[in-house]
Structures are given as structure tokens and as C-alpha cells.
Structure 1
């Protein structure tokens, strides 16, 4: 389920997507590499083995059809003048422990803005993009995270 962003987006937004295949950290890094950038910040979210003091068996991510548009709105919200490039990709589907769920990369002339905008992007994505996590625990219980 790959979705594309609008053609009118800010050219510094180099890659935004919600996909149902394994994610590539290199793809995000390559998208934001630029001769004008002296720093690249990267966030990689992975499925952890424990949450709420309970062992996690696996999880599934699902998204609303508007997720990519919401991802683009989040990127627009966090962009600053000193950002050179921004990439964010979130995975959907069934993920096992250790698999990559989300990748955010931001380049800027200096490390400070790259780090700040990378953090702002992942926080804004988690707060505003309609992607939901169904987490299954080893004891048979489960929970939904991110539902409206």
C-alpha cells in the first residue's frame, strides 16, 4: 500500500510514504543527502520485545487512506528555513520483534537544526498521522495504540 504525496509539496520534503514492506534506512538517508547539508539526523523506530512490563509477541500497524496526506502536513508543520531535506516513511502490516516500523531523516547545514527537526517530525507524526498499532502480548492480551 504505497501512497504518494502531492506534486506541489516543498522540494525539501524528499520522501514521505506509508508502505507495507520492510523499510530501508539507506533510502531515507540517500533522500536527504545534499552538498548543502553538514549534518543528518536519523530516527529509526523498531518493535521492542517488552512494553508495559509485558513481553510483546508481535504487532500490526494499520493506517487510514489519508495517512500520507497527514504525513505531508506534519512535514510542512516542522520544516524550518535551515532544513535542507526531510524524509519519513512508516510501515504497515505485521511486524516482528526487532523490525523497523518508522524511519525519519533530516538534513541541515548544521547538526542542531537537523536533530531538532528530526525529533519534531517523529513526535508530530506520532501525534497527528492516522497510523494505529495493534500490539499483541505473549500472555494473550492486546492493546490498540493511537486510536482516535
Structure 2
């Protein structure tokens, strides 16, 4: 904004702005053109901006809900696959001994190789407080 105002105050002398701020001519020109056409809002960077939930229409809300459910489903599938791989009953609580840590490590490596699950997600599923991994 400062560069645009400087350029406008100096009668659109782009070279002065380039020399003072060390930016390229195309960039200064684009900023000034956007500002004069649509005001300060045109200079805001909206890349990656998510709409607030209240701005979404019904179809967008449903897509968002489906995406969340798919992520949850993937997490549960991964969690169950890991539980089966290490041979534990998900309903029971365990004390993690060294041998158990080794079993879990190997299971994580195998599931990563076989199913492509992210190692970080597999590890975090073991650290999650709602999972039965420690004795109570």
C-alpha cells in the first residue's frame, strides 16, 4: 500500500518507486492498476482463503462434511489396521513394554509400505488420548 501511495503521489513515477523500494516495474504497475481500479481491497492477498461456514451454500457444506467424514473414516481404518497388525484388542488397555513398542514400530512400517498410510498419522493414532494404549 505504501508503494502504491508513493507512486500515485509522485505522479505515477514508477522509476522512483523502483529505486526507493527495490521492486520490479511490473509489480509496481500491477499494484497501482489494481488500486486505481478497485481500491485497497484489491491489494489484499486472498490466496488460500477459506470461506467462513456461514458463507457456504448447501452444496459446499455437504462437500465439506463428506471430506471430513472421509478423513475420519480413513483414520479409523488406519487405527483398526494398526490394531490388527500388532495383535491387540482395541477394547483392552495395555502397558507398553519395549517388546510392545517394537511390535508397534514394525506394524507402522508395514502399514506404511502396504497401504501408504502416513507414518505421522499412524504414530499420532497411537498417542491419541482416546485410544487404549496405556494401563489405566
Higher RCO (CA < 8 A, seq sep 6+)? 1
TM-score > 0.5 by shorter chain: no
Structure showing the higher strand proportion among its residues: 1
Structure showing the higher helix proportion among its residues: 2
- What is the TM-score normalised by the length of structure 2? 0.23
- What is the TM-score normalised by the length of structure 1? 0.22
> Which of the two has higher C-alpha Rg?
2
